[in-house]
A and B are shown apart, each in its own frame.
Chain A
Amino acid sequence: MKPTSRALTLIPTDPYTSFTSQARPSLLRLARRLCQGDLDLADDIVQDAIVHGFETYASGRLSIGPGLRAWLAKSVTSRYLMSKRKDKRLLKNQDELIASVPAPPQETISESNSLSAKLEEALDDLPEEQRLVVILVDIQELSYQECADSLRVPVGTVRSRLSRARWALALRLAGHLGQTHDRER
């Protein structure tokens, strides 16, 4: 019963807890970005990932190090994808319910002209698979391989999706800047 005894000795000053308390804000940001504002779901996903990470750590299959943050980010991503799949299955049987759900108000979109706000806005309009790749590789700084592992797609797919997404976002930002410059003139 080595894992259990190790688990018991972890509380309260174990390295895993202190590591995750530092990593938690960035994991929450990642989850909130993935969930597009569903804060409850994001909190649940992060909590699940940290608990699952603890179990894996306690069983000795995971060690504290640079790879742990990426492992947790991957875990958050796969949990988000699982929740999406579950949602799809539920909604498939409830078409009437979907029709009855009111569309989110357009006014909630930030009117800020800052670059990052515009990028966040454009990011929400991207196809799901491209949005995930941008968040994981460009914002969370996961490697192509780590991103491919968490999305369960080949590295080449990650590269091509990222390239398409970057161009779509860059051209949209450029269009926005062009409009702003025209207005300023």
Chain B
Amino acid sequence: MPHPQTKSEPTPKTTSDPCWHTKAAIQRIAAGERTTWRDWYALVHIPRCGQCRHALEAMKTYFQAIQAIKDQGNKTAES
């Protein structure tokens, strides 16, 4: 009998889940922050990996939505 805390199956990956080693870099790239030398691997890897490309698109969409919320707030404040 397996240990109760042992996962019998790994968590299923969704289509946009990136590889674990690019997660932090994808957030920085999508936010438009300056990439550092530590991100070189991600910059090489992302164009070759479908899941990381999708994840980058998803993260860019997230930051667009955040910007939209901020713009709405500014408009409300002006009016």
Question: Which of A58-66, A79-87, A99-107, A169-177 sits within the interface?
Answer: A169-177
Question: Which of B4-12, B41-49, B65-73 sits within the interface?
Answer: B65-73
**Which B residues fall within an 8 A CB radius of A?**
14-17, 23-24, 27, 54-55, 57-59, 61-62, 64-66, 68-70, 72-73, 76-77
Q: Is the CB of B68 within 8 A of A114?
A: yes
- B64, B65, B66, B77: residue with the most chain A Cβ atoms closer than 10 Å: B65
Q: Is the CB of A163 within 8 A of B27?
A: yes
A167 CA to B16 CA, complexed, in Å: 10
Mask, A1-28, CB within 8 Å of B = 1, is 0000000000000000000000001100
Interface of A is mostly: helix
Q: Is the CB of A167 within 8 A of B54?
A: no
Q: Is the CB of B68 within 8 A of A115?
A: yes
Q: Is the CB of B61 within 8 A of A115?
A: yes
**Which A residues fall within an 8 A CB radius of B?**
25-26, 29, 114-116, 118-120, 138-139, 163, 166-167, 169-171, 173-175, 177-178
Q: Is the CB of A119 within 8 A of B69?
A: yes
Given A167-B23, A170-B62, A171-B17, A116 contacting B55 (CB threshold 8 A): no
